[in-house]
Structure 1
């Protein structure tokens, strides 16, 4: 199983580079890092179960209503790839299960 994310800045239409991201399971941090120059982070290998991916959007956007975005998801098949993109602006965000 692998996990990746891609954060895009909806205001500029550009990748959101340098966004701190952490992955949690059972209240424990299992991985953390920052998005690269293309707004991507990959290579994490979480186990089956419920996870939270936490985006520190306040560290990226100077003035935002959402200083943190938390997406909770369930890994049901450890052999699949899980991609959780985030489209971000100061007053809105959107996410979905990507491929």
Structure 2
């Protein structure tokens, strides 16, 4: 049940470096850290069922309408990799299931 994310800053067109992220499962924080120089976090483990990945966008962007972005996703196949990318700007964000 590996998990990764990639955050891109749509304003600068560059990776969102140093953005705080945490992964939650069953109401508990199971991993937390910051995106690397390429805007990525990898090697985390998501649990079966519903997980939440929380992005501290208010700590990254100077002026944002969304102080945090929370994306809930379901792990149904424990052998599958789960990649949840985020495209971020001060007044909008987008995500999808990546590979």
Instruction: Give the TM-score range, shorter chain.
Output: over 0.9
Q: Spell out the pairing of 1:1-99 with structure 2 (5 A cutoff).
A: 1-99=1-99
Q: How far 1:8 sits from its partner (Å)?
A: 0.2
Residue deviations 1:24-49, cap 9 Å, x none?
01111011010000000000012211
RMSD of aligned Cα (Å): 0.5
Structure 2, gaps ≥5 residues long: none
Question: Structure 1 runs of 4+ off > 3 angstroms?
Answer: none
Instruction: State the TM-score, normalized to the length of structure 1.
Output: 0.98
Q: How far 1:67 sits from its partner (Å)?
A: 0.6
- For these two proteins, the number of residue pairs brought into alignment is 99
How far apart, in 1, do the equivalents of 2:20 and 2:38 lie? 14
Structure 1, gaps ≥5 residues long: none
